[in-house]
Structure 1
Amino acid sequence: MSLAIGSASSSRNMEFDDNNKMIGGDNSGVMKTNDEDHDGGERTERQMSESETSLYATDHEEEDDEGGSNKIQLGPQYTLKEQLEKDKDDESLRKWKEQLLGSVDLNTIGDVKFLSLSILSPGRPDIVLSIPENGRPRGLWFTLKEGSPYNLKFSFQVSNNIVSGLKYTNTVWKTGLKVDSSKEMLGTYSPQPEPYTHMNAQETTPSGIFARGSYSARSKFLDDDNKCYLEINYTFDIRKEWAAT
């Protein structure tokens, strides 16, 4: 009712041309002209366009981040032998590099060679295990006593290249279910003829009837670039007592 009355009262004071533009009477703005509608439409479309552009840019920025397009692109990597060969005509630079490297055998194949794994537990002889080159020890690799503290110690040799951010990861399964996962940083190592050793933090084997039994595990040694130097797949037991030596 009130809307009909307001509309009739306003129309008495307005005249329009052929294009529906107001040319006289009360400019109270009760009715919008075509130009105003057009301008408003342009503003609305412009706002929507800006909003869509902003969302589109944000989506693509996220895609760039996820896709890694903004990652730093590293240049080609060279072995130490290749670097020395490049500088063989510069006598002073070549001697400086040779002094830094010492007696490293540059003809050694491979970057990291793992020699042995030792299991150390207080009050008993160390268990020293050789590591097969294929990373697959045959049969049961070792037996641990339940509820016993122990450390893992790795012996390895680094040649040819600096190994940056070497880390150790280990995953353990029992009857097909994952029961443990761990990761430990070993460090950065330069080439040298003598082996390195690294001892992991002390752990304690679980105890109880449900802890005893056979386990399967996978250990990996990777660097900052996720290059895997060794993967070991093996089985071990947890028993009431240590295995006889």
Structure 2
Amino acid sequence: MSSDIGTVSSSKNFMGLDENKELLEAPAPAAVAVQETPAKKPGPEIGESESCEDEDGEAMIQLGPQCTLKELSEKDKDDESLRRWKEQLLGSVDVNAVGESIDPEVKILSLAIKAHGRDDIVLPISEPRKGKAPWFTLKEGSRYKLIFTFQVSNNIVSGLKYKNTVWKAGIRVDNTKEMIGTFSPQADSYSHEMQEETTPSGILARGSYSARTQFVDDDNRRYLELNYTFEIKKDW
């Protein structure tokens, strides 16, 4: 499965595979020569950004030290353009009500699969996964979208991302990563709709799959991790 409201959906094949093709893992990328660069002074200066890598080796940008929302609202009050930017970012957030926590809190409230011609499949994420029973079943060749809602509190969450890895018979067949966005804390929940996907069809596509879904941010905070199995069948 792949993941702000209003995103234009586009159809693509499930797990990047064409129908009736064998499930094969993509070859590893060729080695790239690394050129030495001059030593750099530790830590960014004020106004500078620092590049680092997440747990998957992907580059991330850290925009200086974090601060609480109260500290952010108090900074550079005489800068009109910055004040307007902060108003747009924070909206109607009451900075005195969210406390003085540096770390944001993101709670995934619901996950649902919306398939054509069928009622939504609501996945009970609050319940612990027990045993190896499949969490859900998809029909081969069917089109569907993943929809989830979440709530942000305490502080701004920067670069919230959805990651999903799928295996079949021990072979990795999909590794999806999608940027969701940056969100300020608010009482109302946010909703996000993923791009439409199509499950593969054919005898090779049918069967049981194992998967791991994660929601993380730019600072590699992990807000949810789900390990589960699902099936693709000839019919629902």
Which interval holds the TM-score relative to the shorter structure? 0.5 to 0.7
1:203 maps onto 2:192 in alignment:
no
Note the C-alpha offset of 1:177: 0.5
Of residues 77, 82, 93 in structure 1, which corresponds to 2:66? 77
Of residues 209, 220, 238 in structure 1, which corresponds to 2:214? 220
Of residues 120, 124, 130 in structure 2, which corresponds to 1:130? 124
Note the C-alpha offset of 1:212: 0.7
- Secondary structure of the corresponding residue to residue 101 of structure 1: coil
Q: How does 1:107-126 map to 2 (within 5 A)?
A: 111-126=105-120
1:235 maps onto 2:229 in alignment:
yes
Q: How does 1:7-22 map to 2 (within 5 A)?
A: none
Sort the Cα spacing of 1:175 and 1:68 in 2 relative to 1 into closer, same or farther, 3 A: farther
- Number of residue pairs matched by the alignment: 172
Name the counterpart of 2:180: 186
Sort the Cα spacing of 1:103 and 1:161 in 2 relative to 1 into closer, same or farther, 3 A: closer
Runs of 5+ consecutive residues of structure 2 not aligned to the other structure: 1-34, 51-61, 76-85
Name the counterpart of 1:146: 140
Sort the Cα spacing of 1:164 and 1:69 in 2 relative to 1 into closer, same or farther, 3 A: closer
Note the C-alpha offset of 1:132: 3.0
CA separation in 2, counterparts of 1:105 and 1:146? 49
Report the residue type matching 1:130 in the other structure.
Answer: P
Which region of structure 1 is more displaced relative to structure 2, 169-178 or 104-113?
104-113
Runs of 5+ consecutive residues of structure 1 not aligned to the other structure: 1-57, 88-95
1:157 maps onto 2:146 in alignment:
no
Name the counterpart of 1:19: none
CA separation in 2, counterparts of 1:74 and 1:110? 16
Name the counterpart of 2:167: 173
> Could you say which structure has the higher helix fraction?
1
CA separation in 2, counterparts of 1:198 and 1:155? 6
CA separation in 1, counterparts of 2:124 and 2:190? 15
Sort the Cα spacing of 1:104 and 1:131 in 2 relative to 1 into closer, same or farther, 3 A: farther
Name the counterpart of 1:45: none
Which region of structure 1 is more displaced relative to structure 2, 163-172 or 107-116?
107-116
- Secondary structure of the corresponding residue to residue 164 of structure 1: strand
Higher Rg? 1
Report the residue type matching 1:173 in the other structure.
Answer: W
Sort the Cα spacing of 1:183 and 1:75 in 2 relative to 1 into closer, same or farther, 3 A: closer
Name the counterpart of 2:98: 106
Report the residue type matching 1:170 in the other structure.
Answer: N
The 8 Å contact of residues 119 and 153 in structure 1, kept in 2 or not, is answered as: yes
Note the C-alpha offset of 1:83: 4.1
Sort the Cα spacing of 1:148 and 1:68 in 2 relative to 1 into closer, same or farther, 3 A: farther
Note the C-alpha offset of 1:198: 0.3
* Cα offsets for 1:24-81 (capped at 9, x unmatched): xxxxxxxxxxxxxxxxxxxxxxxxxxxxxxxxxx8452xx47x98776386543444x
Of structures 1 and 2, the one scoring higher in RCO (CA 8 A, sep 6+) is 2
Structure 2 length-normalised TM: 0.61
CA separation in 1, counterparts of 2:208 and 2:96? 42
